[in-house]
Amino acid sequence: MASAELQRLWKLCRIDTGLVEIRKRAAALDPGRQVMAELEELKKQDQEVGGRARKLSSELTDLELAQKGIDDKLKKIDKELYGGKVVNPREVENLEKEIAILKRHRGANDEKILELWETLPPAKEAAAKIDALIQEKQKQLVERKKAAMALKATLEAEFARLTQLRPEATKGIPPTLMARYDVIRQRNDGIGMTEVTKKQTCGNCGTVLPERTVQGLRDEKVISCEACHTILYLSEGVV
């Protein structure tokens, strides 16, 4: 059984341990770093795959426009030839040459268009797949951020609650004991006191405690673990 002072210190220690735990959890809060990295990777892929689909698509549009231009020109020449305006044989010959050139162009364009009709759909499909993945990741990121914000709010509220309890919990603890506790917890990652386990080991470092230490604790003495210097607390019913 521990003295009333040690019991008070133990109560304070549980508040402090809670505060340490909250700080650790707040530091480890992840607003989706992994998801963000994956999203960046997908965006890079989209630049490549999506860029290719966009390039092919604009090539097709350009070719279709060119075909229309050629058709218009051919119609115009046709009109000139058969409208009775052009009678000079040399002029007729020139126009027929022009027709042949335009038709060759049109044929070449048609080949390219056919090729694009083959390559464009799978390119678009690949780009659409990456787009869908990007959207999915963006959704995940929003969710992750929301969850992190909610957890942050919970931790902050709990931190505020424990901080408020602290001044009251320090009352009745002798200044010398308090000073000793403060020094130890500053050295010990915020942990100044620990419970003796059922196996009579230090709850902080696991060192097996000598019988005289346990006896001293039974006698309500303030004793630290020889290995980690944490103040030991013997709760009722442990030994």
CB of 214 to Zn ion, least distance (A): 13
Q: Which of residues 169 and 213 has its CB atom nearest to Zn ion in the complex?
A: 213
Nearer to Zn ion, 116 or 191 (CB): 191
Does position 228 bind Zn ion by CB under 5 A? yes
Please report how close the Cβ of residue 232 comes to Zn ion at its closest, in angstroms: 8
Cβ closer to Zn ion: 150 or 227? 227
Furthest-apart CA atoms within the chain: distance in Å: 130
How far, in Å, CA of 106 to CA of 65, rounded?
Answer: 11
Note whether 202 binds Zn ion by CB under 5 A.
yes
Residue 227 touching Zn ion (CB under 5 A)? yes
Using CB under 5 A as the binding criterion, the count of chain residues that bind Zn ion stands at: 7
Piece of the chain touching Zn ion by CB under 5 A; list 12-20, 122-130, 198-206, 210-218: 198-206
Q: Is 225 in the site for Zn ion (CB under 5 A)?
A: yes
User: Does position 204 bind Zn ion by CB under 5 A?
Assistant: yes
Label residues 202-225 b or e (16+ Cβ within 10 Å = b): bbbeeeebeeebbebbeeeebbbb
Name the one range near Zn ion by CB under 5 A: 61-69, 115-123, 149-157, 199-207: 199-207
Length of the chain measured in residues: 239
Nearer to Zn ion, 151 or 205 (CB): 205
Residue 208 binding Zn ion, by CB under 5 A: no
Q: Pick between residue 155 and residue 228 the one whose CB is nearest to Zn ion.
A: 228
Q: Which is nearer to Zn ion, 99 or 228 (CB)?
A: 228
Q: What is the SS3 string spanning the chain?
A: CCCHHHHHHHHHHHHHHHHHHHHHHHHCCCCCHHHHHHHHHHHHHHHHHHHHHHHHHHHHHHHHHHHHHHHHHHHHHHHHHHCCCCCCHHHHHHHHHHHHHHHHHHHHHHHHHHHHHHHHHHHHHHHHHHHHHHHHHHHHHHHHHHHHHHHHHHHHHHHHHHHHHHHHHHCCCCHHHHHHHHHHHHHCCCCCEEEECCCCEECCCCCECCHHHHHHHHCCCCCECCCCCCEEECCCCCC
Part in contact with Zn ion (CB under 5 A); list of ranges 41-49, 63-71, 183-191, 195-203: 195-203
Our finding on whether 205 is near Zn ion (CB under 5 A) is yes
Q: In terms of CB distance, is 50 or 192 closer to Zn ion?
A: 192
Question: What's the min distance (Å) between Cβ of 201 and Zn ion?
Answer: 8
Q: Which residues bind Zn ion (CB under 5 A)?
A: 202, 204-205, 207, 225, 227-228
